[in-house]
């Protein structure tokens, strides 16, 4: 299969490595001329996936036309806030037969659209779109360690095509038709992961982290179902699976950001010190707005919004969570 990957961050690069094990014609589009030059010189994407040798057969390019033209499968894995801009530029090279699979996790800030809504707005033909999500750290996928993800599409045949193309002995791909649930799980878990990191940074213990993950899943499910998702999706790989990984794994950018907040560092200083995107910062604002729009109670998200955007003391956020009115767990 001829495959193009739009976005040479950690996840895009890991997918390129994974897909080159199975396919001969894989192209990776790199936005940064500096990063592109270094990849060509060293054979590694040291900025985002250090110590991983890229396959010789991988075509790394700075041309969107080269990456996207004539591709049977096009994977878009840019940071979510760049998706509309990049895919608008790529639209001229996407045919009606191209399957476009989105691995970007986010909500567009100006419109509160899901990435699926953005792709449909830019490209049309949403029946050819799919969404890939699940508990995956890019480094482990690139190293060939076992992983499992979900490919969702409104058209089952499209989800199966992605399954066949991406699935391998190292990476199991399950299918779903719940495009809303698969997308929202990958967004909301980032916010809860920041909270879990704050808890660990404050040294609140394993009990607190387990409570945050469990109640975070409840919040995630409430909003996703309100927006049309199947609650079972949030119990699977794109929901619970991704939530557990992101809240507990040391490779989690969102957890690490929260950990530093819990230790007393300021958000601006943390962000300034890394070129890796912690999507949860932007996700916190958009999920907070979505909760308000849909009238869904999300107390963990609300407290994280206070910490990130209102300079609230992290320990005070914990106290406010714990002192809420007691209630039935199912409420």
CATH 1.10.1040.10 fits 180-322, yes or no: yes
Under the banding of pLDDT at 50, 70 and 90, the label for residue 253 is very high
**How far, in Å, CA of 2 to CA of 296, rounded?**
43
List, in order, residues 6 or more apart from 318 with CB less than 8 Å away: 198, 199, 202, 204, 208, 303
Q: How much of the chain, in percent, has pLDDT values that exceed 90?
A: 94
**How far, in Å, CA of 296 to CA of 290, rounded?**
8
DSSP state of 331: -
Q: What is the pTM of this model?
A: 0.95
The residues that bridge with 150 in the sheet, in sequence order, are 133, 174
Among 172, 4, 175, CA closest to 90: 4
Q: How far is CA 206 from CA 51, 95, 220, in A?
A: 32, 50, 21
- Write down the pLDDT at residue 124: 87
pLDDT score of 200 more than 90:
yes
So which residues are the catalytic ones? 189
- The 10s digit of each residue's pLDDT in 85-94 is 999 999 999 9
- The predicted model gives 180-209 an average pLDDT of 98
**How far, in Å, CA of 165 to CA of 235, rounded?**
25
**How far, in Å, CA of 328 to CA of 331, rounded?**
6
Is residue 327 within 8 Å of 314, Cβ to Cβ? no
The residues that bridge with 129 in the sheet, in sequence order, are 100
The superfamily in CATH containing domain 2-177 is NAD(P)-binding Rossmann-like Domain (3.40.50.720)
**Nearest 10 degrees: Cα torsion 285, 290, 293, 297:** -90
Half-sphere exposure of 225 (CA within 13 A, CB side): 14
- The predicted model gives 311-330 an average pLDDT of 95
Two structure tokens written together for 84: 């509309």
Q: Break the chain into its structural domains and give their ranges.
A: 2-177, 180-322
Under the banding of pLDDT at 50, 70 and 90, the label for residue 277 is low
- The 10s digit of each residue's pLDDT in 23-33 is 999 999 999 99
- The 10s digit of each residue's pLDDT in 153-170 is 999 999 999 999 999 999
Two structure tokens written together for 21: 């094990």
**How far, in Å, CA of 126 to CA of 313, rounded?**
43
């Amino acid at each position: 299969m001829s495959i193009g990957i739009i976005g040479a961050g950690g996840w895009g690069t890991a997918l390129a490595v994974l897909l080159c094990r199975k396919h001969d014609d894989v192209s990776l589009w790199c936005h940064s001329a500096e990063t592109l030059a270094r990849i060509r010189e060293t054979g590694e994407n040291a900025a985002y996936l250090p110590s991983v040798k890229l396959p010789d057969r991988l075509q790394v390019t700075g041309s969107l036309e080269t990456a996207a033209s004539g591709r049977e499968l096009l994977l878009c894995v840019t940071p979510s806030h760049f998706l509309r801009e990049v895919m608008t530029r790529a639209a001229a090279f996407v045919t009606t037969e191209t399957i476009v699979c989105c691995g970007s996790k986010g909500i567009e800030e100006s419109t509160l659209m899901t990435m699926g809504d953005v792709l449909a707005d830019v490209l049309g033909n949403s029946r050819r779109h799919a969404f890939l999500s699940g508990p995956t750290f890019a480094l482990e996928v690139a190293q060939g360690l076992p992983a499992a993800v979900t490919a969702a599409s409104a058209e089952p045949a499209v989800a199966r095509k992605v399954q066949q193309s991406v699935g391998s002995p190292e990476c199991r791909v399950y299918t779903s038709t719940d495009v809303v649930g698969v997308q929202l799980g990958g967004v909301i878990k980032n916010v809860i992961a920041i909270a879990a990191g704050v808890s660990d940074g404050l040294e609140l213990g394993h009990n607190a982290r387990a409570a945050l993950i469990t109640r975070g899943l409840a919040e995630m499910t409430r909003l996703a179902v309100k927006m049309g998702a199947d609650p079972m999706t949030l119990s699977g790989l794109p929901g619970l699976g991704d939530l557990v990984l992101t809240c507990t794994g040391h490779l989690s950018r969102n957890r690490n950001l929260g950990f530093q907040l819990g230790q007393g560092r300021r958000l601006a200083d943390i962000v300034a010190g890394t070129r890796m995107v912690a999507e949860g910062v932007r996700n916190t604002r958009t999920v907070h707005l979505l909760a308000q729009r849909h009238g869904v109670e999300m107390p963990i998200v609300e407290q994280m919004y206070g910490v990130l955007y209102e300079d609230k003391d992290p320990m005070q956020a914990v106290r406010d969570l714990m002192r809420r009115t007691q209630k039935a767990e199912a409420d």
